[in-house]
Amino acid sequence: MSAVQSPVAPARTPRRVALASAIGTTIEWYDFYLYATATALVFNQLFFPSISPTAGTLAAFATYAAGFGARPIGAVIAGHLGDRLGRRTVLVGALVLMGVATTLIGVLPTFATIGVAAPVLLVVLRILQGLAVGGEWAGAAILAVEHAPPRRRGFFGSFTQLGSPAGMLLATGLFFLVRTAVGDAAFVEFWWRLPFHASAVLVVVGLVIRLRISDAPEFAELRAQGKVARLPVVEVFRAAPREVLLTTGLRLSQIALFVLITTYGLTYIASEIGRSSSAGLLAVVISSAIGLATTPLWAILSDRIGRRKPYLFGAVGGTVTLLLFFLAVGTGSTLLVVLAVGLAVNVTHDAMYGPQAAWFAELFTVRLRYSGASLGYGIGSVIAGGFAPLVAAAVVGATGSFWPVVVIFAAVSVLTILAAVFARETAFDDTV
C-alpha cells in the first residue's frame, strides 16, 4: 500500500475523480466542438466570404486543422508539467486557457468588419484551443485510471471519454436549438455567438469541481520521493518509443472516423441535401446522447474480454459504417442519415473510444504516463483528425465522389488494426 494517502475517502475517490474527469472534459470538448460545428455551418461565410464557396469551406477547415496541429505541442507542454508538477495542476490551467479562447471567439469581429485580421485572429484562438485540449485529455484520463480499482480501469477511464459525446451533445444541441429558434439568417448574422458566450459560465463550474480533486497516491508518492522525471518527454521517447508509436496508431482510425462523420459530414450533408437541412445536426445530437451509454458499455466489455478485441472490431468495421453514411446521405432521407451516423459513431467508433483512455494510460509507467499518453493521443489527433475534413473536402471537391475518401480512410484503418494487434494487452494486469 502506498505511504501517501489521498485526502478523500478511499471508497469515494474513484467515483469522485471519474465524475470530475467527465465534467471537466465535457466542458473542454464543448468548447472544442463548438468550433467544429461552427466551421461546418457558418465560418466559411463569415470569415472567408470573398472566395468561392468551395475555397471558403477549405479555408475554414484549414483553421479547424490548426487546432489539431497545436495539440501535440500542448501535449508536450502538459506532459512535461503533468509528470513533474502533477495531473490536477495542468488540468486547471488547460480548462482556463480553453475557456478564455472560446469566449473570445464568440466576440470576434468577422471579415466584413475588420477584413483579413478576422481569420488571422480566428486561427490564433483556434491554436490556443488546440494547446488546451492537447493537455486536457491525458491528464483527465490518467487521473481516472490511476484512482480506479484493478479490472475496472476501463469503466472508470471511460468517464473521461464521456466528455466527448457530452460536449458534442451540448455544443451541437445548443447550435440546433438556437438555429431553430431564430432562423438560419439571424443565426448566421449574430446568434451563432451565443454558444461561445456560454463557455465562460461552464468554465467557472468546471474549475470549482476540478479544484476539489487530488493526484493519485502512486504519483504523490513518486513526487514525495523525488523520483519524478526531469525531462519526461525526452525520457518517454528513450524508454517507450514503441508505446508512443502504438498509441499514435491506435488513435488514427478512431479520430478520423469521428471527425469525418461529425464535422465534415455536416458540410457534406449541407451540399447534398441542402444548407437548410437539419439532418446532420439532428443525427449528431442523437448519436451524442446515445454515446453517453455506449461509450462506458464498450469500456466495461473491454474490462471483461480485453482492450484489443473491441478495438479491432471498431477499426475493421469503421470503413463499412463510413461508406454507409455516404450512401445514406445520397438518399436524402433524414431517418437513414440518423441511423447511419448512429451506427458509425455509437457502434464502430465507440468500440475504440470506450477502452481508449484505459489502454493508453496502462501502456506507460506512472513516471512517464502523462507525457506518453499525451503524445500518442496528440500526434494521432493531428495526423488523422486535423486533416481528415480538409482532405475529404478537397478530394470530394476535385473528384465529385466520396469513394476516394472511403479508400483513404480504409488505408488509415489498417494502421490502427496493426497497432491494436501489436499493442500489449493490459486489461488483466493488476500491476499497472
Identify the top-confidence range among 146-160, 190-204, 206-220, 300-314: 300-314
Q: Do 337 and 269 touch, CB atoms closer than 8 A?
A: yes
Q: C-alpha grid cell for residue 276?
A: 437548410
Distance from C-alpha of 24 to C-alpha of 92, rounded to nearest angstrom: 9
Determine the residue type at 17.
V
**Cβ neighbours of residue 112 closer than 8 Å, sequence gap 6 or more:** 46, 49
Tell me if 292 sits within 8 A of 162, measured CB to CB: yes
pLDDT band per the 50, 70, 90 thresholds, residue 203? confident
Split at pLDDT 50, 70, 90, the class of 56 is low
The one-letter amino acid code at 258 reads F
Distance (Å, whole) CA 207 – CA 106: 20
- Whether the pLDDT of residue 6 is over 50: the answer is no
pLDDT of residue 277: 72
Compute how many other C-beta atoms are within 10 angstroms of the C-beta atom of residue 43.
26
Residue 16's pLDDT band, with cuts at 50, 70 and 90, is confident
Tell me the per-residue pLDDT of 25-38, one tens digit each, with 9 for 90 and over.
888 788 877 887 78
- Where residue 8 falls among pLDDT bands split at 50, 70, 90? very low
Quick one: average pLDDT of 304-330? 97
The single-letter code of the amino acid at 49 is: P
- Give the phi and the psi of residue 113 in degrees, each rounded to 5: -95, -45
Q: Which residue has the cell 497516491?
A: 217
